[in-house]
Amino acid sequence: MNFVFRPHGRFKVWTEGQLLLTEVTGPWNRELIDYWAQQARDLVVVFSTERPYVAITTVYESILCPADAIERIEQAVQHSRTNLPCLANVIVVAKDVDGRDIVKRTYQRIGLEHIFEDFDSAKAWAEHILKGPQVSLA
How many structural domains are present in the chain? 1
60 domain residue, yes or no? yes
136 domain residue, yes or no? no
Please say whether the beta carbons of 43 and 76 come within 8 A.
Answer: no
pLDDT of residue 129: 95
pLDDT of residue 136: 46
pLDDT of residue 138: 47
Burial class (CB in 10 A: 0-12, 13-18, 19+), 96: exposed
pLDDT of residue 4: 66
pLDDT of residue 6: 76
> Residues with Cβ < 8 Å from 94, sequence gap 6 or more?
100, 117, 118
46 domain residue, yes or no? yes
pLDDT of residue 2: 52
Q: With CA atoms as reference, report the closest residue to 107 among 84, 61, 138, 76.
A: 76
Domain range enclosing 70: 10-131
Calpha distance 29→25 (Å, rounded) = 11
137 domain residue, yes or no? no
78 domain residue, yes or no? yes
Q: Which residue positions in the chain have pLDDT lower than 70? A: 1-5, 133-138
pLDDT of residue 1: 54
In CATH, what number is assigned to the domain containing residue 36? 3.30.750.24
pTM listed for this prediction: 0.91
Q: With CA atoms as reference, report the closest residue to 73 among 44, 126, 32, 23.
A: 32
Q: With CA atoms as reference, report the closest residue to 86 among 26, 115, 43, 119.
A: 43
DSSP label at residue 136: P
1 domain residue, yes or no? no
45 domain residue, yes or no? yes
82 domain residue, yes or no? yes
